[in-house]
Amino acid sequence: MRSWILLLVAGLLETGWAIGLKYTQGFTRPLASALTGLAIVGSMVLLGLAAKELPIGTAYPVWVGIGAFGAAVLGMVLFKEPVTPGRIFFLILLMVAVLGLKATTA
């Protein structure tokens, strides 16, 4: 269970650095750039720790899925990106895939 928690936090940090990229304004804002860099490193380290016990074929797609889902949702909330039925449908499918990978990994 510890590996799954590490992977969840890694995915949340991935969301953080993906959103953080927008705030760095091309890495011209020092604080936003530093925080984004820390989130990148933290996310990678936690992914690596989780992958010590979880299959990489599960850990990596779950990590990407959490990050992609979070970035898409926060993009809609923070940056007024389009909220369409199609986007919502595919975000739900993405979470179904992430949960399916977790459910089918021993």
The string of pLDDT tens digits covering residues 13-35 is 999 999 999 999 999 999 999 99
One-letter identity of residue 11? G
Range of the domain at 75: 2-103
Exposed / middle / buried, residue 31 (Cβ in 10 Å: 0-12, 13-18, 19+): exposed
Task: Give per-residue pLDDT as tens, 62-73.
Answer: 999 999 999 999
Element spanning 52, H or E: none
Cβ contacts of 41 within 8 Å, gap of 6 or more: none
How many other β-carbons are positioned within 10 Å of the β-carbon of residue 86?
8
The tokens for 22 are 């927008």
Report how many domains make up the chain. 1
- Supply 92's token pair: 């739900």
pTM score: 0.92
